[in-house]
Amino acid sequence: MQLLAVGLNHTTAPVSLREQLAFAPDQLGQAVMAARSWFERIDHRGSDEAAILSTCNRTELYAASTVPDPLDAGAHFLADFHKLNYAELRPHLYMLPQHDAVRHTFRVASGLDSMVLGETQILGQIKDAIRTADEAGGLGTYLHQLFQRSFSVAKEVRSTTEIGAHSVSMAAAAVRLSQRIFDKISEQNVLFIGAGEMIELCATHFAAQNPKSITIANRTLERGEVLAHRFGGRAIRLADLQDKLHQYDIVISCTASSLPLIGLGMVERAIKARRHKPMFMVDLAVPRDIEPEVARLNDAFLYTVDDLGKVVQTGIENRQAAVAQAEAIIETRVQSFMHWIDDRAVVPVIQHLQENGEALRQMELERARKMLAKGEDVDAVLEALSKGLTAKFMHGPQQALHRAQGEERAQLAELLPQMFRGRR
C-alpha cells in the first residue's frame, strides 16, 4: 500500500485553472467514491483509500493504493472527473509519493503551504474534507492515521511556534486594497455575497472600519439575516442583486456557486446607474462568483483571491525563524509516521507466523490428548508434547539455514539465535 498526494494550488496554477479542478461541497462524497472505484478498476483488490481537499487555493487528492503507478492514476482521475485535457493539466500538478506526501499533508495542516502563512482556516477545511471522505467510505487505516497525525502536528506547530504571528489575513488584505480606492471606508456602502466563514471574517474586518452600511446577500435569506444582525446590517436575497448592485461601493463575494453570480452586463448597468462612481470588488470564490471580464471596466476594480495573495506575503521575512522551527517539528513527525508505515508492512508476516504457530500447537495438543486418552503416563505425554513442539518450530529455520548460501547464510546465522532467545 502506497500513500500519495496529487493536486495543484495557488503556487502551481492560476485561479482560472483552479476553478476548473475545484469540487463543489455537495460533490465531494461522490468524487471520493469515484476515486476509489478508479483505483480499484486498476488493481481489482478493493482496498484503496481516498480523500479530496478542495478550497479556493487548492484541490488535492490523497490516496492509499496498491496499483503499480498510483501517482499517474491519481492525476488521470482528476483530469477525467472534470473532463479536462490531461496534457494541459499535468504541468500544473504536483505528484507526491509516500514520504513527500506525508510531509506535504503535515505542512498543509500546519498552514505552511497556505497563501496566508500560518492561517488556521485550512485545518477546519481539512477536517471537513476528512469527515466527508469517511462518510463516503474513503478512509481506511492509512489515511485515517495520516490525517489524525496531521491534526496533532498542526496543534504542536501552532502551540510551540509563532508561525501565525504578524500574518496578514485575506480579509485584512481586502480592507487594505479597498483603501487604495476609497480614502474613507466609513463613507462607503459594503455588500457581502455569501454567509460562510470567509465572508464572516471579511465582515468582521470591514465592520471595524465603521462603513456607512453593511448588507449580506445570501441564497437563504434567514441565514443572511443572522449574519447581518451581528454587524448591524441588513440582508437581501441573491435574486435582488440585479436591481440593487449599484447601491454598493464595495462588494466582497465568496460562495460555493459553480457559476458566476455577477456578470459583465450586471456590473455595466450598475456602473451606469452610479454615474461611473468607482466600485471596488473582491472575488474570493473558486470557482469565481464574478465574471473576470468585469476587470476590463474602467470604473470597476476587481480583485481575485490570487491578487490578495500577493498582499498577504508582506512581512513574511519576520516569520522565517518560526517557519524553520515548524519545518523541524514536521520533519521529526514525518520520520515517526514513516516508521509506523514500515511497521505496518510486517503485520501480514507476523499474522502468518502466528497462524502457523497456532496450527502447530493445535496439532501437538491433539496428539497429546490422544496419548492421554490411551492411558499413557502424564510425564511421558508432556515430554513428547514439548519435544514435538520444539521440533516443529525449529524445522523451518533449520531448513532455511541449510538451503542458504554466502551472505544470506551469514545473516541467518546472526538473526536466528536472536529469534529463539526467548524469555527466561
Do 171 and 252 form a contact (C-beta atoms < 8 A)?
Answer: no
93 inside domain: yes
- The SS3 assignment for 14 reads coil
Residues 120 and 148 in one domain: yes
> What is the pLDDT, as a whole number, of residue 166?
64
Q: What is the CA radius of gyration of the chain?
A: 30
Residue 138 belongs to a domain with what CATH number? 3.30.460.30
| Residue positions forming the annotated binding site for NADP(+) | 194-199
Residue 201 belongs to a domain with what CATH number? 3.40.50.720
Q: Please identify every stretch of the chain with a pLDDT value under 70, giving residue numbers as ranges.
A: 46, 166-167, 314-318, 347, 420-424
The count of domains in the chain is 2
111 inside domain: yes
Do 241 and 266 form a contact (C-beta atoms < 8 A)?
Answer: yes
**Grid cell 471537513 in the structure block, residue:** 128
Residues 156 and 299 in one domain: no
User: Which H/E stretch holds residue 59?
Assistant: strand 58-65
User: Which H/E stretch holds residue 307?
Assistant: helix 305-312
**DSSP bridge pairs for 54:** 59
- The SS3 assignment for 231 reads coil
Residues 70 and 5 in one domain: yes
Which cell is 235 given?
A: 440582508
Residues 211 and 241 in one domain: yes
**CA 249/CA 184 separation, integer angstroms:** 11
63 inside domain: yes
**CA 209/CA 202 separation, integer angstroms:** 11
> What is the pLDDT, as a whole number, of residue 338?
94
**DSSP bridge pairs for 252:** 192, 282
Residues 178 and 53 in one domain: no
274 inside domain: yes
**Residue type at 263?**
G
| Residue positions forming the annotated binding site | 55-58, 114, 119-121, 125, 194-199
Residues 88 and 190 in one domain: no
> What is the pLDDT, as a whole number, of residue 90?
96
389 inside domain: no
**pTM of the model as a whole:** 0.79
67 inside domain: yes
Which cell is 70 given?
A: 498510483
Catalytically active residues, by annotation: 56
| Residue positions forming the annotated binding site for substrate | 55-58, 114, 119-121, 125
Residues 237 and 329 in one domain: no
> What is the pLDDT, as a whole number, of residue 25?
92
> What is the pLDDT, as a whole number, of residue 394?
81
**DSSP bridge pairs for 61:** 6, 52
Q: Is the CA virtual torsion 95, 254, 258, 40 positive or negative? A: positive
- The SS3 assignment for 83 reads coil
Per the structure, the complete domain to which residue 327 belongs is given by 1-164+316-341
How many CB atoms are closer than 10 A to CB 393? 15
Residues 211 and 268 in one domain: yes
Q: Which of 275, 297, 312 is the last residue of a domain?
A: 312
Q: What's CA 136's distance to the chain center, in Å?
A: 15
Residues 106 and 181 in one domain: no
> What is the pLDDT, as a whole number, of residue 157?
94
**CA 146/CA 149 separation, integer angstroms:** 5
**Grid cell 506526501 in the structure block, residue:** 101
Which cell is 139 given?
A: 478512509
Residues 4 and 153 in one domain: yes
3 inside domain: yes
Residues 150 and 181 in one domain: no
**DSSP bridge pairs for 58:** 9
Residues 101 and 181 in one domain: no
> What is the pLDDT, as a whole number, of residue 347?
67
Which cell is 197 given?
A: 466563514
Produce one character per residue of 263-288: b if its CB has 16 or more CB atoms within 10 Å, e if not: ebebbeebbeebeeeebbbbbbbbbb
**CA 227/CA 198 separation, integer angstroms:** 12
149-200: pLDDT as tens digits: 999 999 999 999 988 776 678 898 999 999 999 989 999 999 999 999 899 9
348 inside domain: no
Query: 30 vs 26, 88, 141, 198, 200, CA distance in Å?
Result: 8, 25, 21, 25, 28
